[in-house]
Amino acid sequence: MKHIDVVGLCGSLRTHSLNLAALRLAGSCMPPSMTLDVVDWRDVPPFDADVMAEGMPAVVTALRERLRRADAVLIATPEYNFSIPGMLKNAIDWVSRGTDQPLQRKPVAILSASPGPVGGARVQYDLRKVLLFMDAMVLPKPEVFIAHATAKFSADGHCVDEATIQFVTDQMMSLERWVRQVDRMIQPG
């Protein structure tokens, strides 16, 4: 079975981010054919078309190249004011520019964690909308919203909730099937 290289993007820059913990949980729940590489995109500058006109910043080119090489992308993000954190949206905006946009036909899965009761559900629909425009192949189901997340992760970022571990495991198994399904769909002939 072909190895599946998954790039992980965390929508939070916080060291003790619940979403980073959720991303790491996903990495530990993946089937043996998949591996997760969490990419640090914090040095991506604010989007400025004048800067882009001078040439794509090296950090953006590196991010775009890493995404292009990946078989799939996993985004774990908090919800900020019912929507996408500005820094994450900014990075996605950079990725969306230029030729050979790397998320085109790329399998993507989304999960979110929040201390609140809705688990970041609303950010996921905004993110899906953006990724739809970018022609990404977003995993339809299962959705994973980790609500009351502070109670579900220990101080050192380990998940202590069996139901959450099962939800994330199920999503990673679905992502594996989705990657193979998308691969078959986009193969010519």
Question: Can residue 129 be called a binding residue for ligand FMN (CB under 6 A)?
Answer: no
User: Exposed, middle or buried: residue 141 (CB in 10 Å: 0-12, 13-18, 19+)?
Assistant: exposed
Cβ closest to ligand FMN, residue 82 vs residue 133: 82
Range in contact with ligand FMN (rule: CB under 6 A) among 16-24, 46-54, 62-70, 164-172: 16-24
Biggest CA–CA distance in the chain, Å, is 51
Helix axes 18-29, 162-186, angle to 10 degrees: 70
Applying CB under 6 A, among 9, 12, 138, 144 the residue interacting with ligand FMN is 12
Number of residues that bind ligand FMN (CB under 6 A): 15
Question: Can residue 164 be called a binding residue for ligand FMN (CB under 6 A)?
Answer: no
CA distance 66 to 30: 20
Cβ closest to ligand FMN, residue 114 vs residue 171: 114
Applying CB under 6 A, among 15, 81, 99, 187 the residue interacting with ligand FMN is 81
Cβ closest to ligand FMN, residue 114 vs residue 164: 114
- Using alpha carbons, select from 44, 51, 132 the residue that is nearest to residue 95: 44
- Using alpha carbons, select from 23, 28, 25 the residue that is nearest to residue 38: 23
**Token representation of residue 185:** 């769909």
CA distance 187 to 115: 41
Cβ closest to ligand FMN, residue 81 vs residue 154: 81
Range in contact with ligand FMN (rule: CB under 6 A) among 11-19, 60-68, 92-100, 179-187: 11-19
Question: Can residue 80 be called a binding residue for ligand FMN (CB under 6 A)?
Answer: yes
User: Does the bond joining 117 to the residue before it have cis omega, within 30 degrees of 0?
Assistant: no
The amino acid sitting at 42 is R
Question: Can residue 157 be called a binding residue for ligand FMN (CB under 6 A)?
Answer: no
Q: Which residues bind ligand FMN (CB under 6 A)?
A: 12, 14, 17-19, 78-82, 114-116, 118, 120
